[in-house]
Structure 1
Amino acid sequence: MDAIVRRIVTALNDEGYEAYIVGGAVRDLLMKRVPHDYDVTTSARPEEIHAVAAKQGWHTVEIQGEQFGIVVLVVDGMTVETASFRGEAYGKDSHRPETVWYAQTLREDVLRRDFTVNALAMDADGHVYDYTGGQRDIRRKRLVTVGDPHQRFQEDALRLFRACRFVGQLDFLPAKELTRAMPDAFSRVAGLSVERVVREIDRLMTTPAAYKGLDLLVRSGLGACCCRRKENGQYHEVPILPECSHLPQTPQSKPFHLFDAWFHTLAVVANTPPDLLLRYAALFHDIAKGLPGIRGRKDGRYTDYGHDAKGADMARQILLRWQKRPPFAERIAWLVKTHMKFHYFANTGQGDVLKWLRHEALEGPFRRTDELVEAVQQATALACADIRGCGHADASTEGTSSFGAYMADMARQMPVSTKDLSYDRRVPEVCGTRTGECLRILLTRVQNQNLDNDSDILAAAARKWMERQRGDCHDRT
């Protein structure tokens, strides 16, 4: 236990109150992981917690949650939520409890929690209190609800998404009773805000076993549900992720693909680093496979011509309806759109790479050269994951990685905007009020490899351009 947190627990104990760390921190300690934060539960009421804090000289932060018995303590720069034992009852709201009351015992407090591995408590001496079998489930690597899963999910529909996230975060398997109970609570998902749902999916996407959580999300049918967004005082239905629902039933042609489209997608996700943008690109890269107008057959094999362009449109639409920032959505859409072209360049040795980079510099969603370079590096990582995700034990990504490094070097030499030009004060001194016009012409010439991106060369070119402009004006007069 963190020394500062032990001080908090001990200080409450010294004043005659029960106090324990509870939830994820205990779980992580038992799994030999470093907790990213700590929560304390205590028999003390909020005013009593404040009194202990004042006596110790600790700062407290005013939060809305204090009405639910939560006091935020700041001790030596560390923030710790300290909550009174409490019970809850749920009503019409899909996430928030309808009534909250103070409980008398630790047992009452932990029995209201979501999963057994999150219902563990530990005192200042390190003794663990386990009323739900959480330690057993950690050993078995199983995610199990506290009590009846139907009741737990009916109480708070966000727990459905938290189940997916914890499966990925802990690399556990969900208990059969948990997965069977999920559909009964799907009607409650409609009352969740899209912000809460997407926040859970985002957290899932960067977990070590994200593919497991995604599999639960899609195969259970949870991804096909709708949540809601409030705009101008009105609630609007927001589909979550129905676009992935067809993938588990979408076969692919062997021998190139050993897996169906969904298992391949999960394998690609598993082979990407835990970066949110890359993981979403991996999830969406083949999302259009199997769709009408995309799925075909040629020489007895399945084809999906155009799935890259269609998938890019679908990825953009999903992310924007989730209210992701447009640049984030556009980068992911670009990676989905270009993933087949990247494979073509890397594996065939054909195609004009420079021409393609120049086109992306001119027409792509990039504002600076460093963005183009970053996108090429991301495309390389996605391509390597795509290769590994095909399931062939002897698949090599060495050539793709080398080609990606080569493309990144070329991209570094490709200015995207005039700010990427290596010009100095000589250009504005020569061009004056026409500097912007001149720089745009110089940019095009550098992109077309008619000029090197060098300050002396650009200054000379600007001087010649201005001389021609003056000559044209003189001829007209």
Structure 2
Amino acid sequence: MRNNDDFFDKNVIAIMKLIEKNNFSVEIVGGAVRDYILSLKDSKIKSNNIDFDLATNASTEEIKKIFIDHKLILDGEKFGTVKVLLDEKLYEITTYRIDGSYRDKRRPERVYFTNEIKNDLSRRDFTINAIAMKSDREVIDFFGGMDDIENKIIRCVGNPEERFEEDYLRMFRAIRFAVSLNFNIHEETSNAIKSIVNNRKELFNLISNERKYKELKIILREDAIRGFQLLREHGLAWRILPLKKQTSLKQLEDLIENLIRGFEIESDWYVKMGLIGYGMESILGRKEGQKLFTKYLIDLSFPKIEREYILNLLEYQELPPSIMIENPDEKLLLKWMRDYEKKFVYNNSHELKKNIFRNYLQFQ
């Protein structure tokens, strides 16, 4: 196994050394540790855009004293978090804590601070995200996360039903991690998802739209075929599509099957979203399907530019050559649009043309 010292942001190590110099413990926690361990075997995994979160036994007051000469953001102080600004980047430092009850199925109503890193790691979702690392690269792993990374397994920390009841989005995150890391979901974790889905019909409404959008987008980007197969297997595919009241279970199953076949052909995530819209139109009719799909994109908090782009693709039902998506060229794209206008006439064709062109460039 190779070394990968370049993985860590130099500011992270400097922050840790300063905290340690003041006789406090501090560790990198969460996804950054997971990705570092994965990077030791796969050089393609980089630390670009990775957030380095730190956990410590120092209180927020003590952290503020240590970093008194730095710009601090204190909006998370209630939950034990102080953000330090270094080189125009924020670094979160959070006091070890235990979470209280999750009545809103997203955030704990209150937190309790602790001196033990084990207590802090025990509240996390999956074992692969419950590993901590010291500044000297010493790994702290109480819950078998290293073994699960080695064996490519997504497993909850502790009781899986309790972890999912705390935050229903974790069920979608289990699918997302399985897809993005090419891991398998542990049997007990998988069974817990199925049990909750069967007994908590309201669960999808308790997940914020922004969080659903993020998970769906990652699944479509990484491996939509396996993602939707896992969503279907766990009863979550029906929770992602807004058709249940209008359609029979057989129609939904046929739609998922057709989407998976379509995903085998299309590679771009936004085209795959268009396929979902097309599937709605095929079941409900063009007018009703498009109306519901538009509402669906709005409800999921898709940014306006993405929403317009996907709806335009659905309206045209034809795409420019893939070379224009991979290497956008203004002259080629405008020529394709002129040729395309010969086939279709719209009252707002000029405006639509400008919008599509603008969106293509902004999506690169």
2:188 aligned with 1:177: yes
Change (3 A) 1:322 1:190: closer
Aligned to 2:274: 281
Q: Is 1:12 the counterpart of 2:19 in the alignment?
A: yes
Say whether residues 1:106 and 2:117 are aligned partners.
yes
CA gap 1:377/1:39 in 2 versus in 1, 3 angstroms = closer
SS where residue 64 of structure 2 aligns?
A: helix
Using the alignment, how far apart are the partners of 1:139 and 1:264 within structure 2? 31
Q: Is the 8 A contact 1:86 1:103 kept in 2?
A: yes
Question: Judging changes above 3 Å, is the alpha-carbon distance between structure 1 residues 93 and 249 closer, same or farther for their aligned structure 2 residues?
Answer: closer
8 A Cα contact 1:248 1:263, kept in partner: no
Structure 1 Cα separation of the partners of residues 320 and 17 of structure 2: 59
Listed one character per residue, the Cα deviations across residues 296-355 of structure 1 (whole Å, up to 9, x for unaligned) are xxxxxxxxxx8xx77655532421333445664343233234437999xxxxxxxxx978
**What code does the residue aligned with 2:229 have?**
D
Provide, for residues 92-151 of structure 1, a one-character-per-residue CA deviation record: whole Å limited to 9, x for no partner: 221111231012211111010001111111101111111111111212222111111111
Partner of 1:224: 238
Partner of 1:371: 355
315-324 vs 85-94, which deviates more?
315-324
Note if contact 1:143-1:174 (Cα within 8 Å) is conserved in structure 2. yes
Match of 2:85 in 1: 74
**Cα-Cα RMSD:** 3.5
Counterpart residue identity of residue 321, structure 1: D
- Which stretch has the larger CA shift, 328-337 or 32-41? 328-337
Q: Residue 55 of structure 2: which of 41, 45, 53 is its match?
A: 41
Which amino acid in the other structure matches residue 210 of structure 2? E
Residues 174 and 372 (structure 1 numbering): CA distance in 2 closer, same or farther, change over 3 Å?
same
| Structure 1: distance between partners of 2:347 and 2:184 | 45
Secondary structure class of the residue paired with 2:63: helix
1:320 paired residue among 281, 289, 298: 298
Q: Does 1:158 align with 2:169?
A: yes
Aligned mates of 2:56, 2:25 — CA distance in 1? 5
Structure 2 partner of 1:332: 310
Selected match of 2:73 from 54, 61, 65 = 61
In the alignment, which residue of structure 2 is the partner of 1:266? 263
Q: Are 2:200 and 1:200 equivalent residues in the alignment? A: no
Tell me the amino acid that sits aligned with residue 205 of structure 1: L
Seen in structure 2, the aligned counterparts of structure 1 residues 31 and 341 have a Cα distance that, compared at 3 Å, is closer
Whether the aligned pair in 2 keeps the contact of 1:71 and 1:81 (CA below 8 Å) is yes
Cα deviation digits, residues 198-257 of structure 1 (max 9, x gap): 333234433x2343333333442224348xxxxxxxxxxxx7565897577329xxxxxx
Helix, strand or coil at the partner of 2:158: coil
Q: For structure 1, which segment, 90-99 or 309-318, has the greater mean C-alpha deviation from structure 2 after superposition?
A: 309-318
Q: TM-score, normalised by structure 2?
A: 0.77
Helix, strand or coil: the match of 1:20? Answer: strand
Cα offset, 1:285, TM superposition: 4.1
Pick one of 233, 239, 249 that aligns with 2:253.
Answer: 249
Give the deviation of 1:185 after TM superposition.
3.3
Q: What SS does the aligned partner of 1:202 have?
A: helix
Q: 1:97 to 1:59 in 2, by over 3 A?
A: same
CA distance in 2, matches of 1:25, 1:169: 15
Q: Distance in 2 between matches of 1:24 and 1:356?
A: 45
CA contact (8 A) 2:79 2:110 kept: no
SS in structure 2 at match of 1:331: helix
Deviation at 1:172, TM superposition (A): 2.1
Partner amino acid for 2:80? G
Q: 1:248 to 1:133 in 2, by over 3 A?
A: farther
2: CA distance between counterparts of 1:135 and 1:176?
18
Change (3 A) 1:332 1:78: closer
SS at match of 2:23: coil
The size of the alignment, in residue pairs, is 327
SS of equivalent to 2:110? strand
Give unmatched runs, 5+ long, in structure 2. 1-7, 40-44, 322-336
* Alpha carbons of structure 1 residues 215 and 374: separation in structure 2 relative to 1, 3 Å: farther
Q: Is the 8 A contact 2:25 2:57 kept in 1?
A: yes
Provide the C-alpha distance between the structure 1 equivalents of 2:338 and 2:97, rounded to a whole number of angstroms.
64
Q: More relative contact order in 1 or in 2 (CA 8 Å, sep 6+)?
A: 2
Larger radius of gyration: 1
1:404-415 paired onto structure 2 within 5 Å: none
